[in-house]
């Protein structure tokens, strides 16, 4: 009996040892964003980009000789849920998170990651506050709203001088930040908007807002917000005979905008980075996505690039320790599918660019 018990204990010990070794042979990273809810299309972009990046890295031997395991977190672009997801990912011992999408999620999640010493690189959160907090662990592969707002303000000032301008947002962190940045740029040029207003996230009936636009004879509306509300606003403007030009930001880079707006979306303008799908560095990855019949639009390749940058910094550091990787990120120029990336002291990409896109015949393209 004693011999049997000893054998069972030895077998159990070996099982625990094997599990420990198996866990030690992999590196756990994550991507987090709105996998469900009305912004799920963007969550899909992050998830697909992360999955492809991990698959490609693992096929080449992983990072530092270890395979990557990807965890996916769903925050539904809700700040409280983002904090909960961040805590869950910390409990799963992730060393790096490519996320989140909404600035209103990334900012509260960043506090959780900072306390737990987990590296965060967002592919999509553009609110300046994220990298103005002074956290060592926060980076982004996209630009900032103050940069995007400057370009928007310059364009409106140049093309709508003397016209009635309206600025609106849906009161979310990203939305207000972008709207205010555009307004600030206009004010610097001595241009005052005729109307500054807010709408409600998830609203379906914007008739009262459209009535205000008509009453103020608005020629151009700059909308800080996401594609579902923007699409409904432009559709309802057209239904009421309003020809007001709609201009917005990078949250319209999804074909879901046109699915909601229909032909009313024709001519809508928005800012986003130069189309990463057209970069020579992305050709091979875009071809892989094509095989899977997936269009890597929007922030798909920005997410892929975030994981590439992390992997190259980890290789440079010779470690996946988040602080060591963060230090390495500040000292390298990562070669990614969206082009070379280097980061300033705050974690922002150096020399980010935004260009203009226009919606025509159901798709968007650079102007």
pLDDT at 332: 97
Q: How far apart are CA 331 and CA 324, in angstroms?
A: 11
User: For the ranges 80-89, 101-110, 206-215, 346-355, which has the lowest average pLDDT?
Assistant: 346-355
> Model's pTM, two decimal places?
0.90
Residue range 333-362, pLDDT digits in tens: 999 999 999 999 999 999 878 999 999 999
Q: Does 310 have pLDDT greater than 60?
A: yes
The whole-angstrom separation of Cα 82 and Cα 27 is: 22
The pLDDT assigned to 14 comes to: 42
What's the total number of domains in the chain? 2
Give the domain extent around 45: 8-144+278-341
Distance set, CA 305 to CA 272, 344, 351, 354 (Å): 16, 17, 16, 17
Q: Are residues 267 and 282 in the same domain?
A: no
Note the residue count of the chain: 367
* pLDDT value of position 10: 44
My answer on whether 108 and 68 are in the same domain is: yes
Query: In which region does residue 347 sit, left (phi positive, over 0), alpha (psi from -120 to 50) or beta (all else)?
Result: left
β-bridge partners, 173: none
Q: Mean pLDDT, the chain, as a whole number?
A: 93
What are 253-279's pLDDT values in tens digits? Answer: 999 999 999 999 999 999 999 999 999
DSSP β-ladder status, 355-360 and 269-272: antiparallel
Same domain for 210 and 292: no
pLDDT band of 83, cuts 50, 70, 90: very high
Q: Residue 1: is its pLDDT beyond 50? A: no
| Token pair 């991507």 in the structure block, residue | 31
Q: Answer yes or no: do 329 and 194 share one domain.
A: no
d(CA 324, CA 86): 21
Query: Is 9 a residue whose pLDDT tops 90?
Result: no
Model pLDDT for residues 96-105, shown as the tens digit of each residue: 999 999 999 9
What's 297's domain CATH number? 3.40.50.2300
Neighbouring CB atoms inside 10 A of 67's CB total 14
Based on the domain organization, do 31 and 124 belong to the same domain? yes
What radius of gyration do the chain's Cα atoms show? 23
Check whether residue 285 and residue 218 sit in a common domain: no
Residue 26 lies in a domain: yes
| pLDDT tens, position by position, 26-65 | 999 999 999 999 999 999 999 999 999 999 999 999 999 9
Q: How far apart are CA 352 and CA 37, in angstroms?
A: 30
Residue 70 phi/psi, 5° resolution? -100, 125
Categorize the per-residue pLDDT at 18 as very low, low, confident or very high, splitting at 50, 70 and 90: very low
Backbone phi and psi for residue 290, each to the nearest 5 degrees, phi listed first: -60, -35
Same domain, 178 and 138: no
Q: Could you give the 3-state DSSP secondary structure of residue 198?
A: strand
Residue 68 to residue 116: CA distance in whole angstroms: 20
CA-closest candidate to residue 123, choices 280, 286, 307, 333: 307
Cross-strand partners of 119: 96
In a domain, 346, yes or no: no
| pLDDT confidence bin for 7, thresholds 50/70/90 | very low
């Amino acid at each position: 009996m004693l011999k049997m018990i000893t054998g069972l204990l030895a077998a159990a010990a070996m099982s625990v040892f094997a599990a420990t070794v198996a866990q030690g042979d992999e590196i756990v990273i994550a991507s987090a964003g709105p996998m469900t809810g009305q912004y799920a299309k963007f969550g899909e972009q992050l998830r697909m980009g992360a999955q492809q990046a991990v698959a490609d890295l693992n096929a080449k031997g992983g990072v530092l000789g270890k395979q990557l395991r990807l965890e996916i977190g769903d925050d539904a672009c809700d700040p409280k849920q983002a904090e909960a997801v961040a805590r869950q990912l910390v409990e799963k011992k992730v060393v790096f998170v490519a996320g989140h999408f909404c600035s209103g999620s990334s900012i509260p999640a960043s506090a959780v990651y900072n306390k737990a010493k987990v590296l965060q690189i967002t592919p999509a959160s553009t609110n300046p506050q994220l990298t103005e907090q002074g956290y060592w662990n926060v980076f982004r592969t996209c630009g900032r709203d103050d940069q995007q707002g400057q370009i928007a303000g310059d364009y409106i000032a140049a093309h709508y001088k003397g016209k009635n301008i309206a600025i609106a947002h849906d009161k979310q962190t990203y939305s207000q930040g972008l709207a205010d940045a555009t307004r600030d740029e206009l004010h610097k040029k001595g241009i005052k908007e005729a109307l500054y207003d807010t709408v409600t996230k998830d609203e379906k009936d914007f008739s009262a807002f459209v009535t205000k636009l008509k009453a103020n004879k608005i020629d151009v509306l700059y909308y800080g917000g996401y594609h579902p509300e923007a699409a409904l606003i432009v559709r309802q403007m057209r239904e009421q005979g309003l020809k007001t030009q709609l201009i917005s930001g990078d949250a319209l880079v999804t074909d879901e905008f046109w699915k909601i707006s229909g032909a009313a979306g024709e001519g809508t303008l928005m800012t986003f980075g130069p189309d990463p799908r057209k970069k020579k560095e992305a050709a091979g990855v875009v071809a892989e996505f094509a095989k899977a019949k997936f269009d890597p639009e929007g922030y798909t390749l920005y997410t892929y690039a975030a994981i590439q940058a992390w992997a190259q910094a980890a290789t440079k550091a010779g470690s996946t320790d988040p602080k060591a990787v963060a230090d390495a990120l500040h000292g390298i120029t990562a070669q990614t599918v969206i082009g070379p990336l280097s980061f300033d002291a705050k974690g922002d990409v150096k020399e980010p660019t935004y260009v203009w896109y226009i919606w025509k015949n159901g798709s968007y393209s650079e102007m």
